[in-house]
Amino acid sequence: MSGMRFFDYNATTPLLPEARAAWLEANDACWLNPSSPYRAGAAAHARLEEARDRLAALLDVDSRRIVFNSGATEGNNAVLAGWSRTFGEKARVGVGATEHPSVLEAAKHHFDQRIDWLEPEPGGVIQPETLEGKAVSAVSIMAANNETGVLNPWQEWAKVCRGRGITMHCDASQWIGKMPLEGLGACDFVTACAHKFGGPKGAGFLLVPEGCVSGFVGGAQEGGRRAGTENLAGILSMLAALEAVEAKRATFSAKAKGDFLDALEEEMPGVTVIGRGQPALWNTVAIVLPDFKSSRWIRALERKGVLVSAGSACSTGKGGPSHVLAAMGLDPNQADRALRISSGWETTPDDWSALLDALLSSYKELKKEAAGSNSQVISI
């Protein structure tokens, strides 16, 4: 990675120094099983519960609502599986059409034909009005889209669901660490993933209603709601990362992204900014570039020392157009030319300028290559 400019923070993030230090300290000082009966084990358990209390304070929720787990995919699956046991065989659920694959696939697995898909507006936002006329027991709406960065009004969704007695789940994987934590406790279920905000892979948490039970059987860890020895080092590292990004979140700005988009639209005719004008994460850009498939753009940019992606890292290898872009009304031709660009706390205005230069020079080179081989050019 030395010398590379990283613009794929929505896929994963580098481990923050605070998180690394916490992980090393925990593995050295409290590596014992928190469930062990002796004093040293009790000390590890005390560290675990202290971490739960500190996380609860950040989220402004009762600590009994926090279940530590391996990340958002586990959390999302646990929520949908729990709903299938709780609501009965005829219950229907509402699911955002632009959700992460771990929500979509879990919903299809557990509810099959009993899903009401909640469609976005052309700009990508899913409004609570889409719930009208639908008799659902539960709703799953993400806070921020992982491919486009477009924000859903999850606070309004929480209010509407509460008023109608509908259980609500919010996948906040892309929100937490980038946007304010206030109000997330209004959702019944919230999933989060540490490696999206500078923590370690394999650690996360699930916010659940008080009194919630789980089908994850085995030991009595996490109040009987998630069996298995807790990853204490991962949990403490995750907490250190979240506290660190929260301390500097006020410095995060969309200005460099905005300047980049303005310049790109001016200097590259034919580019389309997906979700332009919609509320969005400060770090995320989704664009449709002219003429060439995203795979060629990605390779060309990597040769220039810039790393970007074509969408969700969890969908790599599946093939086919992005379900997010399809739900927003983009055709397969456009989706094949889409890039996702996502910055982080270490990204500078100079990095954005370098990205712009790399895109413009790559376009010239790709057109020159195409003129010679007449291959892989998409007619638009």
**Structural tokens at position 27:** 């593995």
Sheet of strand 338-342, all strands in order from the earlier edge strand to the far edge? 272-273, 284-288, 338-342
Given the residues 30, 161, 170, 314, the one annotated as active site = 314
Quote the CA–CA distance of 43 and 65 in Å, as a whole number.
Answer: 22
CA 337 to centroid of chain Cα atoms: 22
- Known catalytic residue at 314: yes
CA distance 177 to 249: 8
Report the relative pairing of strands 167-171 and 138-140 from DSSP bridges: parallel
Asked whether the beta carbons of 16 and 198 are under 8 A apart, the reply is: yes
Q: How far apart are CA 226 and CA 221, in angstroms?
A: 6
Q: What are phi and psi of 106, to 5 degrees?
A: -65, -40
Specify whether the CB–CB gap between 131 and 160 falls below 8 A: yes
Strands 284-288, 167-171: pairing is: unpaired
The catalytic site residues sit at 314
